[in-house]
């Protein structure tokens, strides 16, 4: 049953060194505040999974939190490369990163299999691709009815899934809307679930068929306004495209990146202090 907690306490309680961790959100509702808190608490040796690693995983990887990454598209959307991810894969910095690489169709199906408590996912995929030749987790299965050869991959069952949503009521029932990605499947596939939300409300006033995660499938709910910044929360704030561009320069160089992580994450108390520092830095840049 969901318990309202501070993000710091939820992270300390539910995210452990060595865990298999999913932070999902497809461009929208990316749980940045939670990712920062994992860096702040210096978690190590995590197996991370995320369809689109985005800059939140660039930060976690560059900060040395990850030993393994399962993913299907690793870039800075609309900008270019994830430099910390590339440095880890190409040069093993700051620590070597084992990669488990898939396609979107694969991971979407693998989360569904996890949420469905099935051992594996089956789909029509990977025909002609070299990915199955470099990833032994991608295998083939013959349909027992038609004989068609289909792709099979193990179900994804994270130790902990963290997502961000717009609202939760006082009981901890969570409502999200807009682009939903795989958040519901990732949450239902996981052993433990942390949800950060923009707002705590008395009632969700959700229409039937809304995407609601009932409180009893969640371990911790944390109120973190703007907790998806610099991604966006539909109905609350827009994507900070300037930061996505700025990240390219911050992350390109190991030293600049390390300074940024130290100043903005390790030296700040929580996400609200991070946001205040970032606002202050940006306004100074504008004045110059």
Partner 1 sequence: MSASFTAEEMMTVAAARMLPNRAVCFVGIGLPSTAANLARLTHAPEAVLVYESGPIGAKPSVLPLSIGDGNLAETADTVVSTPEVFRYWLQGGRIDVGFLGAAQLDKFGNINTTVVGSYRNPRVRLPGAGGAPEISSSAREVLIIVAQSKRTFVEKLDFMTTGGFLNGGNSREKAGLCGKGPVAVITDLCILRPDAATRELTVTHIHPGISRETVCANTGWAVKFAPDCEETPPPEAHELDVLRALKARTAAAHGAEGEAA
Residue 42 beta carbon to partner 1: minimum distance, rounded to whole angstroms = 26
Nearer residue to partner 1 within complex by CB, 128 or 208: 128
Residue 101 beta carbon to partner 1: minimum distance, rounded to whole angstroms = 6
Query: How far apart, in whole angstroms, are the C-alpha atoms of residue 158 and residue 201?
Result: 29
Residue 102 beta carbon to partner 1: minimum distance, rounded to whole angstroms = 7
Taking alpha carbons only, the member of 255, 199, 188, 261 closest to residue 227 is: 199
Cα distances (angstroms) measured from residue 106 to each of 112, 120, 121, 287? 10, 11, 8, 47
Residue 109 beta carbon to partner 1: minimum distance, rounded to whole angstroms = 7
Token digits for 29?
């509702």
Residue 73 and residue 104 in contact, taking contact as beta carbons nearer than 8 Å: yes
Residue 153 and residue 110 in contact, taking contact as beta carbons nearer than 8 Å: yes
Nearer residue to partner 1 within complex by CB, 77 or 154: 77
Query: How far apart, in whole angstroms, are the C-alpha atoms of residue 97 and residue 90?
Result: 9
- Residue 158: left if φ>0, alpha if ψ -120 to 50, beta else—which one? beta
Nearer residue to partner 1 within complex by CB, 15 or 250: 250
Residue 230 and residue 282 in contact, taking contact as beta carbons nearer than 8 Å: no
Beta-bridged to residue 174, according to DSSP, are 168, 213
Sort strands 211-213 and 174-176 into parallel, antiparallel or unpaired: antiparallel
Nearer residue to partner 1 within complex by CB, 108 or 250: 108
Residue 74 beta carbon to partner 1: minimum distance, rounded to whole angstroms = 5
Nearer residue to partner 1 within complex by CB, 26 or 271: 26
Residue 109 and residue 121 in contact, taking contact as beta carbons nearer than 8 Å: yes
Residue 257, SS3 per DSSP:
helix
Query: How far apart, in whole angstroms, are the C-alpha atoms of residue 100 and residue 106?
Result: 12
Nearer residue to partner 1 within complex by CB, 55 or 168: 55
Output phi, psi for 69, to 5 deg: -135, 125
Q: Please give the helix or strand (H or E) that residue 134 lies within, else none.
A: helix 131-134
Nearer residue to partner 1 within complex by CB, 32 or 244: 244
Interface with partner 1 (CB under 8 A): 26-28, 51-52, 71-75, 77-81, 85-86, 89-90, 101-105, 108-109, 111-112, 123-131, 134, 148-149, 178-182, 184-185, 232, 234, 238-239, 241-242, 244-245
Nearer residue to partner 1 within complex by CB, 178 or 214: 178
> Residues near 146 by Cβ (< 8 Å), separated by ≥ 6?
none
């Amino acid at each position: 049953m969901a318990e309202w907690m501070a993000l710091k306490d939820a992270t300390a309680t539910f995210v452990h060194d060595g865990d298999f961790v999913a932070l999902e959100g497809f461009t929208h509702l990316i749980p940045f505040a939670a990712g920062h808190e994992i860096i702040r608490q210096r978690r190590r040796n995590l197996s991370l999974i995320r369809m689109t690693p985005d800059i939140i995983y660039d930060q976690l990887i560059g900060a040395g939190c990850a030993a393994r990454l399962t993913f299907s598209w690793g870039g800075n959307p609309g900008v270019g490369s994830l430099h910390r991810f590339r440095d880890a894969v190409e040069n093993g910095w700051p620590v070597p990163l084992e990669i488990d690489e898939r396609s979107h169709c694969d991971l979407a199906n693998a989360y569904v299999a996890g949420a469905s408590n099935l051992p594996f996912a089956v789909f029509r995929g990977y025909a002609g691709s070299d990915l199955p030749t470099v990833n032994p987790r991608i295998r083939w299965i013959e349909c027992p009815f038609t004989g068609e050869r289909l792709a099979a991959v193990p179900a994804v069952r994270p130790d902990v899934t963290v997502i961000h949503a717009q609202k939760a009521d006082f009981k901890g029932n969570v409502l999200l809307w807009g682009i939903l990605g795989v958040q519901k499947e990732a949450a239902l596939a996981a052993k433990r679930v942390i949800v950060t939300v923009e707002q705590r409300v008395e009632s969700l006033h959700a229409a039937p068929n809304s995407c609601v995660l009932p409180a009893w499938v969640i371990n911790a709910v944390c109120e973190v306004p703007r907790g998806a910044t610099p991604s966006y929360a539909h109905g609350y704030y827009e994507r900070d495209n300037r930061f996505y561009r700025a990240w390219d320069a911050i992350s390109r160089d190991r030293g600049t990146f390390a300074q940024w992580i130290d100043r903005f994450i390790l030296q700040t108390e929580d996400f609200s202090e991070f946001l205040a520092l970032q606002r202050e830095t940006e306004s100074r840049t504008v004045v110059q």
